Copies of this chain bind each other. A is one copy, B any other.
Amino acid sequence: MNFTRLLSTINYKKIPPSIFRSYSTMSIEKKLQSVFSKVDELKPVFIERLANAVAIPSVSGDESLRKEVFKMSEFLVKELESLGAYDIQVKPLGKQPPPVTDENLELPPIVLARVGKDETKKTIMIYGHYDVQPALKDDGWDTYPFKLVEVNDKLYGRGSTDDKGPVIAWLNVLQAHKELSLELPVNIIFCFEGMEESGSLGLEELVGREADKYFKGVDTCCISDNYWLGTKKPVLTYGLRGCNYYQIIVSGPGADLHSGIFGGVIHEPMTDLIRVMSQLVDVKGKILIPGIDEMVAPVTETEEKLYDDIEFDVNELNAASGSNTAIYQSKNDILMHRWRYPSLSLHGIEGAFSGGGAKTVIPAKVIGKFSIRTVPDIDSKKMDQYVFDYVNAKFKELGTPNSYKVELIHDGAYWKSDPFNDSFTAAKKATKVVWGVEPDLTREGGSIPITLTFEQQLKTNVLLLPLGKGDDGAHSINEKIDVKNYIEGAKTMAAYLHYYGEI
């Protein structure tokens, strides 16, 4: 909690930006040595910059704090300007669509900025978000969430790891180069959004609109918005599962009925729904809908090898779930079922009694919710059809007079990149030089929809380069980033730029 160490002795804005020394004859390793020393030297400044960012409660999900989200975008613009970015565009996204309380509520803008415009260099698009999850001291935080507090070499505060830490780390990379008058080895296009925690409203459309304009010429994309698998080894992430979300609607009676009067004499929608929901997945997670498992890409030898070095065991899963409820005990089984096999979860039922205590209702209309996490090579449309056919067949078997319908309500595709492409290769070298180890190549069980948007719209590949650890507590109370991850992370980012620029 000691911020006395925060220095303001280095007035980095005073360094003349015009004169960049030529480092052209220097090896990458030499250049990086200078950068790493500068990063270490600037550590107090970097922490102060993050503290200034965390101090702005830019919660996109809280309408009353929308002005703070805008304030955060202005903060970024100022920082970018002072660090030599140009062509800074603050893209308005219009009014937030319903449901909103204030129908004139403006969406936070997307901040675009360039650094470098050398046609002989590669161009990297770097994405991050400057909005955060809600946080209240009363939620159980040990400290005030919008004041960055350092305890035992960890920086606590909302947004410290998700995603202000990584966003500010990129700015720190700029500053280190600027102070060294060291030219960046690539052109950078920044794309910072302020609505990620609230559905990224407007982002996909903007990327589409700007694909051939602002984003023209992008060679690769880099996103730092996920986490290491555990707490010890850095990772690079090359895959995400998709998610198809379904609902089963069963209805019969004209209105909710009293179970005293109608129990035993009518076909109850809940009975039908529960019967069918119980036949979707078994207790060991096996999907009972035929055809889905058959579409899953077989595990190749190359892929299997990727798991060898990964540090993970069942204890980490149990610690994360807060229970001893693991289906599998071996590392490979757990990680493969999280990353590269589909899963089906039953989420709940809309329309049934969901309160505490006892209510003797026969719900007239109930909507069962479940989703399937998708992986290569599942054909999403085919899977939908398998689901519909199976559910309809199960209802037919029941012979119920209630009406039923199964429908897809959300469809997000999986993403898998080639972890041996140029961008991953550069990031591996960067990790090795900073952390002294090869990064684990991981996938994630969840989705980051924007990954796919960039890949498809900009027709390029995407690298997920996480900075924070698996125990950082993004979205939770006491969110933190380790000082080491924040500082070494900036070094890794810098090294990545240099190695990628060299290829």
Contacts and interface: CB of A to CB of B under 8 A. Distances in A.
Nearest to A362: B345
Interface string A247-264: 000001111011111111
Interface stretch (A19-27, A210-218, A321-329, A486-494): A321-329
Interface of A: 241, 243, 245, 252-255, 257-268, 270-272, 274-275, 277-279, 281-285, 317, 320-328, 334, 337-338, 341-364, 369, 371, 373, 398-402, 409-410, 444-447
B401 A338 contact: no
A352 B349 CA distance: 7
- The 4 tightest CB contacts between A and B, nearest first, are A254-B322, A260-B446, A264-B343, A348-B353
A267 B282 CA distance: 10
A451 B354 CA distance: 30
Contacts of A356: 350
Contacts of A337: 264-265
A323 B257 CA distance: 11
A65 B193 CA distance: 51
A450 to B, nearest CB: 15
A106 to B, nearest CB: 24
A347 B363 contact: yes
A400 to B, nearest CB: 6
Given A254-B321, A260-B447, 10 more contacts: A258-B445, A259-B373, A264-B341, A264-B445, A266-B323, A267-B285, A271-B345, A274-B278, A325-B402, A358-B371
B344 A265 contact: no
B271 A328 contact: no
A351 to B, nearest CB: 8
B338 A264 contact: yes
Given A243-B260, A283-B275, A266 B347 contact: no
Contacts of A358: 245, 347, 369, 371, 409-410
Contacts of A338: 261-265
Contact of A266 (B255, B317, B401): B317
A343 B263 contact: yes
B245 A360 contact: yes
A266 B409 contact: no
B260 A241 contact: yes
Interface centre among A320, A347, A364, A409 (most CB of B within 10 A): A347
Contacts of A267: 283-285, 325-327
Contacts of A341: 264
A366 to B, nearest CB: 8
A416 to B, nearest CB: 15
Nearest to A287: B264
A399 B283 contact: yes
A322 B252 CA distance: 8
A373 B337 CA distance: 43
A245 B449 CA distance: 44
Given A257-B321, A258-B446, A361 B346 contact: no
Nearest to A338: B265
Given A274-B277, A359-B347, A325 B253 contact: yes
22 contacts: A252-B321, A252-B325, A253-B321, A254-B321, A254-B322, A258-B445, A258-B446, A259-B343, A262-B321, A264-B373, A265-B285, A265-B334, A265-B343, A266-B317, A266-B323, A268-B285, A271-B346, A274-B346, A275-B283, A278-B278, A283-B400, A348-B363
A398 B272 CA distance: 21
Of A243, A279, A369, A409, which is in contact with the most chain B CB atoms at under 10 Å from its CB? A369
Given A254-B323, A263-B344, A323-B252, A275 B275 contact: no
A245 B400 CA distance: 25
> Which of A241, A265, A354, A401 has the most chain B CB within a 10 Å cutoff?
A265
Contacts of A328: 265
Contact of A259 (B271, B278, B371): B371
A376 B257 CA distance: 24
Contacts of A351: 354
Contacts of A401: 323-326
A285 B262 contact: no
Nearest to A373: B263
